[in-house]
Amino acid sequence: MYLKVKLPWNVIIAPENLDIKGLLLQRAILLKVLEEFASRRAHKDLGYHIAVTTLESIGDGKVRQHTGEVMFPVVFSAITFNIFRGEVLEGQVHKVFKHGVFLRCGPMEHIYLSCTKMPGYRYVPGENPEFINEKSPPVGKDDLVRFMVMGTKWLEADREFQALASLEGDFLGPLPRPEI
Amino acid sequence: MEKNGKGFSMPKSSLKSTPSKDDSSQKSKEGRKVQFNNGGSPEERFDYSKSNGKSSSSADKGGRGNTANVKASKSKEKEPLELRLNQELLKNAKCLMDCEAAEIIQGIQDQMTLLSQDATIKLPVSFHKGLQYSQANARYTNTHSVRRVLEYPSYFNVNVLTKLPSTLKKHGVVEGEISVIANACPESTEEVFALVPSLKSKKSILQEPLEVALMVIKPLRKVDSTSV
């Protein structure tokens, strides 16, 4: 789900961006926040960084002696996206394999739905492989599926998440394909 | 959130529509581990039992060790698969409904068309996917009304003679659960309790407020919204 978070960060401003009047300084601080927010991509607790919404406050700067840079403590609000164990979401199938499918949900691309967690479904190979069920719509590429999150994993090196999904439960499963 | 221990438990969902079929499929898959590591340590595991501050009468994870096996068919501990959000996280974070997030992100997108001339302004990589997903799942025409209805359903029930508003939050429904309910566009209270099993323990208290809430938000849905 989407989260609105309030984050305290320390932003370092180079000496050439420091301005007596202050307006260009605030601009430099804001641009630095945006740049760092974009470069960090994701946080292990908050999820994927989506956008900064407001700059709440800028504290007093502290000069770093050897470099002349100034460190400002700032507080800003931002939108992030994360998924949690037990959450129910809708994802789109983007890869179909013999033992399961991969779903994407917003910025999260690696959500694995194993065939063992798709009760009643069997794999049908072919040019467009899919999982079919006698009583429910099929699960194939680009289909929308409502699933429950079984667990998540944060990969520090890649700064991204992986997750496991399940269709075991009432009111879970693929949405009907739109009629053409 | 701290990841604890080397092992983890594979909880079974507390809801099974076809238990007999499910058992047979699990037995045929016995011994198969579902994991994928991109060159990571073989000791890395999915975090299934995160630390949480939300107490629930149906779950008791605090006293259990984390050495249970991956194999669901052999797991005797059927931990319910319930939404759990870290209370530490929620101190500085507010859970948004997809429709609320869509409005905010679309507003930023509209401003970016003016600011895009400045090359120094950078957007996160996930911005466009976040915008696309939120718009696809924004299923209500009036997000503020939906939020109010889910938090204060009794305001909209003329048959309830109460002096004080009965809120879902007052009965222990947390923000995350309200977001899941709103995002799912449930047709009935049965669907709500199936998708949010942590509310089942309060079913008798929540049944009426939820019925009112669903009845009021139904007309607020966009015409092409779909549900399972």
* ipTM score for this prediction: 0.89
What's the average model confidence in pLDDT over A129-134? 93
* Token reading at A113: 């739905």
The pair phi, psi for residue A81, each rounded to 5°, is -130, 125
Q: Band of the pLDDT at A49, cuts 50, 70, 90?
A: very high
Question: With contact defined as beta carbons under 8 Å apart, do A167 and A173 qualify?
Answer: yes
pLDDT at B105: 93
Question: Which of residues A64, A81, A98 is at a domain's end?
Answer: A81
Domain presence at residue A158: yes
- The answer to the question of residue A179 being in a domain is no
Interchain CB contact of B51 with A (< 8 Å): no
Mean pLDDT calculated for residue range A111-123: 95
CATH number at residue A159: 2.40.50.140
Same structural domain, A22 and A74? yes
- Cα–Cα dist B165/A76, whole Å: 34
d(CA A70, CA B88): 30
Beta bridge partners of A155: A160
| Per-residue pLDDT, B64 | 42
Task: Please name the amino acid found at residue B45.
Answer: R
Domain carrying residue A77: 2-81
CA distance B217 to B12: 32
A69 and A109 both lie in a single domain = no
Chain B contact set for A119 (CB, 8 A): 16-18, 21-22, 25
Residue B97 to residue B179: CA distance in whole angstroms: 5
Where residue B44 falls among pLDDT bands split at 50, 70, 90? very low
> Is it the case that residue B168 has pLDDT exceeding 80?
no
Residues A120 and A72 in one domain: no
Q: Render pLDDT for B101-145 as a digit per residue (tens, 0 to 9).
A: 999 999 999 888 777 767 778 889 899 999 999 999 888 887 887
What is the reported pLDDT for A20?
Answer: 59
Searching chain A, which residue's CA lies closest to the CA of residue B29?
Answer: A116
Question: Of B78, B10, B70, which is closest to residue B42 (Cα–Cα)?
Answer: B70
Question: Do B96 and A158 make contact, defined as CB atoms within 8 angstroms?
Answer: no
Tell me how many domains chain A contains.
2
Query: Lowest mean pLDDT: which of A44-48, A126-130, B200-204?
Result: B200-204
Residue A180 lies in a domain: no
To the nearest whole angstrom, how far is the Cα of A127 from the nearest Cα of chain B? 25
- CB contact, 8 Å: B30 with chain A? no
Asked whether residue A72 falls in the same domain as residue A117, the answer is no
Backbone angles phi, psi at A53, to 5 degrees: -105, -50
A35 φ/ψ sector (left φ>0, alpha ψ -120 to 50, else beta): alpha
